[in-house]
Amino acid sequence: MDPQAVKSNVVLILDYGSQYTHLITRRIRSLSIFSLCISGTSSLKSITDLNPSVIILSGGPHSVHSQDAPCFPDGFVDYVEKNGIFVLGICYGLQLIVQKLGGEVAIGEKQEYGRMVIEVVKDYGGLFKGKQIGDKQVVWMSHGDEAVKLPIGFEVVARSEQGAVAAVANPGRRFYGLQYHPEVTHSPKGMELLRHFFFDICGITAGWKMEDVMEEEIKVIKGMVGPDDHVICALSGGVDSTVAATLVHKAIGDRLHCIFVDNGLLRYKEQERVMGTFESDLHLPVTCVDASVQFLSELKGVTDPEKKRKIIGKEFISIFDAFAHDLEQKLGRKPTYLVQGTLYPDVIESCPPPGSGRTHSHTIKSHHNVGGLPKDMKILDVPVSFLKRHPFPGPGLAVRIPGDVTQGNALDILRQVDEIFIQAIKDAGIYDVIWQAFAVFLPIKTTGVQGDQRTHSNAVALRAVTSQDGMTADWYYFEHKFLDDVSRKICNSVRGVNRVCLDITSKPPSTIEWE
């Protein structure tokens, strides 16, 4: 498709701080539609300059009644109506539409979080194409306020089982709203609705390709990094930083200098395995720094999970600074940039609170790295086996040992348990259908009987989840025989463990990692 045609089919997302905002962008791009995400409080000129065909108002953690509740700029409604732009409000976005266009939003009598059933109550605006009045579907809700009075011209087209407004429409003004999140996988019909909304209601034409972004990003990197500039890349051994490094390496070659830090919190034989891939398969210029003593010394006695993450982040920065200094001495000039790669959930969960000037989301937990680059894994020549690796947190096993990570031999026990669990999953042929699996060392002792003797040993937990993006997740349903075999093998093979538990909590209410 002609580039200009792609740009005229822009779907613009105004971000009000939802954990799922960037997921909306990803879902839209998966439909081969060009989408962009900017702050929900951007100026009207910032919006008009992008010439969008559709604007989505995202969800967010605020109440529209809050004094500092973020909102679209003055003149927004007139602009979209005069230019025939479609507007879809999601969650907070729906409530914003209702309140600003003359309706009323109130604190809900019953809050709705997680899976809920909604029912189509009116055929109006074509939002639920092919659905009959009375048809029901499961969706993912996350709201405390609700629309209680709609603006003139709007109609309720779906309600939750509790009677709350679930979807509204005003086709004449091209305004639509969903109280639930169609972008998450736990709304099974969500993508069907989005596809219908963009193509059938809004008349968007597909034509955007991820390959276009990769080519564009390489051009951007080449344009940003001067011909004599050098770049440092912090490699964690995960998919995200590896893909980011590979992308930058394609752009600037050996002027990229990668550093892999063993912080003493890695999985079983992680350093050996990861360095082998970097050197043999990817041919990346990587320096391995063993800083395990440095990290564990700083973490000794620390039990607060947020403090652990901050310490780990601080030590990483210290090591990167030293690496940059050494590189400067070698090259005779300072490295210009630091490259990092991470998951969208990490970016969202690490966002600062309102008032920071950066976003409207609330901090859930800090991540040691919050940068990233667009990627298309199939065309970067990264080994498939590496791309299929489960995500591993930047702070490593520190977030899988609640409390002091240096207590006893917790790290060694956890590494052994985790290796047994992951290998069993691979042997069972289910590794690729699980988003993430790992073991957790529990900071408790339990009573057991092993070898006809009473024991007072450690308990561990196993966690495995399914997801498409890490924003929401369900626990994986293992066969009982698999769990029985793994439990027996762990207790028989790992000295110091006499109890194995299974985590059967979804996200939300839990995060995937324990800390």
Q: Give the DSSP letter of residue 4.
A: H
Residue 361 banded pLDDT, cuts 50, 70, 90:
very low
More confident residue, 113 or 487: 487
Instruction: Specify the 3-state DSSP secondary structure of 58.
Output: coil
Tell me if 86 is assigned to some domain: yes
Q: How far apart are CA 85 and CA 51, in angstroms?
A: 9
Question: Does the pLDDT of residue 396 top 70, yes or no?
Answer: yes
Question: Does the pLDDT of residue 280 top 90, yes or no?
Answer: no
Please list the alpha-helical segments (H only) found in 253-304: 270-277, 292-299
Both structure tokens of 194: 């989005």
Strands of 104-120's sheet in order across:
35-39, 11-15, 54-57, 86-90, 175-178, 165-170, 155-160, 104-120, 136-149
Residue 112 banded pLDDT, cuts 50, 70, 90:
confident
List, in sequence order, every residue forming a beta bridge with 168; answer none if it has no partner. 156, 177
Tell me if 435 is assigned to some domain: yes
Query: Could you tell me if 184 and 215 lie in one domain?
Result: no
- What's the CATH code of the domain at 445? 3.30.300.10
pLDDT at 340: 72
End residue of a domain, out of 183, 201, 219: 201
Q: What beta strand segments (E) does 312-357 contain?
A: 337-339
pLDDT at 162: 86
The DSSP code sequence of 206-230 is: ----HHHHHHHHHHHHHHHS-TT--
Lowest mean pLDDT among 101-115, 138-152, 366-380, 418-432: 366-380
pLDDT at 62: 84
Averaged pLDDT, 35-60: 91
State how beta strands 11-15 and 54-57 pair: parallel
State the catalytic residue, choosing from 91, 233, 258, 351.
91
Closest C-alpha to 213, from 26, 458, 68:
26
Tell me if 373 is assigned to some domain: no
- What's the CATH code of the domain at 239? 3.40.50.620
Please list the alpha-helical segments (H only) found in 31-178: 44-49, 76-82, 92-100
Tell me if 138 is assigned to some domain: yes
Q: Give the DSSP letter of residue 396.
A: G
Interacting residues of 354 by C-beta distance below 8 A, sequence separation 6+: 17, 62, 68, 70, 360, 362
Question: Does the pLDDT of residue 367 top 70, yes or no?
Answer: no
Instruction: Specify the 3-state DSSP secondary structure of 104.
Output: strand
Query: Could you tell me if 42 and 188 lie in one domain?
Result: yes
Query: Could you tell me if 54 and 181 lie in one domain?
Result: yes
- What's the CATH code of the domain at 156? 3.40.50.880
Question: Does the pLDDT of residue 360 top 70, yes or no?
Answer: no
Averaged pLDDT, 148-171: 93
Lowest mean pLDDT among 53-67, 182-196, 214-228, 431-445: 214-228
Q: What angle do CA 330, 317, 308 make, to 5 degrees?
A: 150
Catalytic site includes residue 233:
no
pLDDT at 369: 35
pTM, two decimal places:
0.64
Binding-site residues, in ranges, read 236-242
Query: Could you tell me if 267 and 307 lie in one domain?
Result: yes
* % of the chain residues with pLDDT over 70: 90
State the catalytic residue, choosing from 22, 112, 146, 183.
183
End residue of a domain, out of 348, 367, 396: 348
Query: Could you tell me if 172 and 219 lie in one domain?
Result: no
Question: Does the pLDDT of residue 494 top 90, yes or no?
Answer: yes
State the catalytic residue, choosing from 181, 230, 367, 368.
181
pLDDT at 410: 96
Query: Could you tell me if 60 and 126 lie in one domain?
Result: yes
The whole domain housing 318 covers: 210-348
Query: Could you tell me if 94 and 11 lie in one domain?
Result: yes
Q: Mind listing the pLDDT tens digit for each residue in 303-334? A: 999 999 999 989 988 998 899 999 999 999 98
Question: Does the pLDDT of residue 496 top 90, yes or no?
Answer: yes
Residue 133 banded pLDDT, cuts 50, 70, 90:
very high
Q: How far apart are CA 483 and CA 503, in angstroms?
A: 12
Question: Does the pLDDT of residue 150 top 50, yes or no?
Answer: yes
Query: Could you tell me if 150 and 41 lie in one domain?
Result: yes
Exposure string over 124-143, b if 16+ CB within 10 A, otherwise e: bbebbeebeeeeebebbbbb
Contact 496, 457 (CB under 8 A): yes
Interacting residues of 313 by C-beta distance below 8 A, sequence separation 6+: 366, 368, 394
End residue of a domain, out of 201, 218, 235: 201
Query: Could you tell me if 172 and 236 lie in one domain?
Result: no
Q: What beta strand segments (E) does 171-271 contain?
A: 175-178, 231-235, 256-262
Question: Does the pLDDT of residue 116 top 50, yes or no?
Answer: yes
Catalytic site includes residue 183:
yes
Tell me if 158 is assigned to some domain: yes
Tell me if 353 is assigned to some domain: no
Contact 128, 99 (CB under 8 A): no
Interacting residues of 356 by C-beta distance below 8 A, sequence separation 6+: none
* Strongest mean pLDDT among 148-157, 218-227, 376-385: 148-157
Report the number of distinct structural domains present in the chain: 3
Catalytic site includes residue 181:
yes
Residue 8 banded pLDDT, cuts 50, 70, 90:
low
Average pLDDT of the chain is 86
Binding-site residues for ATP, in ranges, read 236-242
Tell me if 452 is assigned to some domain: yes
Query: Could you tell me if 175 and 115 lie in one domain?
Result: yes
Tell me if 368 is assigned to some domain: no
Query: Could you tell me if 214 and 132 lie in one domain?
Result: no
Both structure tokens of 371: 């940068």
Query: Could you tell me if 336 and 420 lie in one domain?
Result: no
pLDDT at 4: 44
Q: How far apart are CA 406 and CA 388, in angstroms?
A: 30
